[in-house]
Amino acid sequence: MLKLCLLECIVSGSRLNAVAGHGTPLRIEKGRARRGHAAQTRETNIWLEYERTVKELIGWLVQRGATKSVARHDAGEADLVLCQAPVDDPLGGWSTVGSVLLLGAKTTRPLEAGEGRLASRERLLRQMRAALIEGHKASKPGAAAVVYVPHADATTLAATVLAATGAGYRLRTILYQRDALAGAFGNGAAAATCDFDREMPLLRDQSTTDSAAIEEAIREGVRDAYHERGEPVREDHAAAAALQSLSAEGLLVPLALARAGGVSELELFVDHFRSALADGRRSDIERIKIADEPEEYAYVVKGAHDVTPLDDRVEWSVWGVLSATREVDTRSLLRRTYALFRGAETPDRELIEQAIASYAVQSEEGRWRLGDVDSLVARQASQSQLVAELVDAGHRLGFKVHVGRDVQRRATPASHAERGRTLVELMTDAERLAGPAHSLRGPADALEFVDCVWYDRGRMAFLWQAEWTARLYRSIVSIGEAIPDDDRVFRFLAIADERAALLQQKLERSAPLSDIVRRRGWRFVKWRPLRGFLANGAAGLDGLEAVLGLEPAVEQRGHQLVFKW
């Protein structure tokens, strides 16, 4: 067991874990070791990971009691079949090392004759089917099966699921994460967990299924995944959703038994998958490019119902977990956040880490807590202060001003306390009665929810949204898309300075959201530069340009040294 602990922490924690003869060699430059042609990340302290793993093992043994109470199951009595898919390991084939270390070199079986001539995915299909058939025989009638797939992609997921289906299992769920393996890079960082329950024995005379029904089920799965995640669905996510949809419709069994004419069931699935998404317009599915180098595509559903994107929900969940706890360690924080999302909604680790970096402060002991400025009371007070200053500046610049419905009942800040108890009292009586709907095109309900509107000066209108989070969907899509474009309408999103980096990452991640920002002409401005402009009583509208952007010109002005000769 201690060998297993050591192997686990070395494989998961180290980047210098290539096996001699299988991985790329190490290079020593200036006293530092690195792998040639491999992405470099900071090395994890393996011995701290080993200590943690041993403590977990000891804790488990204490809970289990004496080792005599751990029964050894005979054939046909296993309650669970658990295995790892033998995919190609770009880090050096640790599956073989683990087998030799734990079981001994004599127990490893040589590859079957001709195995090397098979494509890797076909070899995976055959090996997984054989392993799961053995697991099916050695387990109880109701025993489930769980298969872990490291370095997962569309084809390895399909091979694993089809192999399990052919062995007598039915797919229940696939948990897929694009960056689950911290030590890997790029496409090799993905991992998935496939959960199966036991099906009835398969019949050779299983009826065939129409190709149209298979492809329609694939498209329906991709549509459902988009509605659940609220963001473009990448190919690997689409494959996982398609496999789950086929299983729910009972179409995986005939597909798994469709090997004929030298074409495997895996090739048939890949052909159906590509054909279904090529005809995606039948189900309002559109393919978009999300990256240029290398080219990467994703799928969106046109005219989909209003769904908050996953990255906004993850951000709010991280804030909620941090605000509900005084201090929390990294593992507990990740675990609590993941527990809020299931199935196709499982977020990438990157999303959670970005939100933690934006909201949390880490102590010397490595524990996280919510930053003082990000408490709900503090942020609402700062937001109210900004709206009050927007009202004053709008009046000073000759605009009529409207305060949005969401912030009207907020208490006025101390600097404006003598002018009323709530922000709505900062407007004049005429402004409260008329509102911007009489001067602007667009539905009155949408205009009512804009935090602050400057209007009726030269027929210009400035729409201001004040956000202390980086959740863009409500402001830019739900409200912004309901207001039509006009040459005299200008849209601004004022965001807290601490959220600038997270906002930039979200725009890079979501091509559709970036397109809306570009098409509608949204202008971003950070709170601190904006408040400096609003407080300057002599500043006109021309001074607004210097404070716009996530890297405004007012923050980029350098100081030239003056030399006296």
Q: What does the DSSP assignment read for 254-309?
A: HHHT--BTTB-HHHHHHHHHHHHHHTGGGGTEEEEEEETTTTEEEEEETT------
User: d(Cα 39, Cα 35) in Å, to the nearest integer?
Assistant: 8
Q: Do residues 238 and 294 lie in contact, with contact meaning Cβ atoms separated by under 8 Å?
A: no
CA dihedral 389, 391, 393, 397 (to 10 degrees): 180
User: d(Cα 23, Cα 329) in Å, to the nearest integer?
Assistant: 34
pLDDT per residue over 27-38, tens digit each?
A: 445 545 555 544
Q: Does residue 98 have a pLDDT over 50?
A: yes
Q: Which CATH architecture has domain 310-374?
A: Orthogonal Bundle (1.10)
The 3-state DSSP class for residue 482 equals: helix
Which whole number is the average pLDDT over 139-168?
A: 91
Q: Do residues 375 and 335 lie in contact, with contact meaning Cβ atoms separated by under 8 Å?
A: no
pLDDT per residue over 368-421, tens digit each?
A: 999 999 999 999 999 999 999 999 999 999 999 999 999 999 999 999 999 999
Beta strands 233-234 and 296-301 are: antiparallel
Which whole number is the average pLDDT over 248-253?
A: 88
pLDDT per residue over 463-515, tens digit each?
A: 999 999 999 999 999 999 999 988 889 999 999 999 999 999 999 888 888 99
User: Which comes out higher in pLDDT, residue 33 or 289?
Assistant: 289
What is the model's pLDDT at position 117? 38
Q: Look at the chain and count its residues.
A: 565
The DSSP string of 345-383 is GPPPHHHHHHHHHHHEEE-TTS-EEE-GGGSHHHHHHHH
Ordered by start, the domain boundaries in the chain are 1-68, 77-93+119-305, 310-374, 376-556
Which whole number is the average pLDDT over 245-274?
A: 84
What is the model's pLDDT at position 393? 94
User: d(Cα 11, Cα 14) in Å, to the nearest integer?
Assistant: 6
User: d(Cα 416, Cα 408) in Å, to the nearest integer?
Assistant: 14
Q: Do residues 232 and 300 lie in contact, with contact meaning Cβ atoms separated by under 8 Å?
A: yes
The structure tokens listed for 466 are 């004040």
CA angle 493, 496, 498 (to 5 degrees): 135
Q: Does residue 122 have a pLDDT over 80?
A: yes
User: Which comes out higher in pLDDT, residue 200 or 457?
Assistant: 457
- Taking alpha carbons only, the member of 19, 42, 22, 23 closest to residue 32 is 42
pTM listed for this prediction: 0.76
For the ranges 137-146, 289-298, 488-497, the maximum mean pLDDT occurs at 488-497
The band of 115, judged by pLDDT with boundaries at 50, 70 and 90, is very low
User: d(Cα 80, Cα 148) in Å, to the nearest integer?
Assistant: 13
pLDDT per residue over 513-565, tens digit each?
A: 899 999 999 999 999 999 999 999 888 898 999 999 999 888 876 544 444 44
Q: Does residue 23 have a pLDDT over 70?
A: no
The Cα-based distances of 392 to 7, 123, 125, 413, 540 in angstroms read 64, 70, 68, 13, 13
Q: Does residue 100 have a pLDDT over 70?
A: no
Q: Does residue 72 have a pLDDT over 60?
A: no
Average pLDDT, the chain: 82
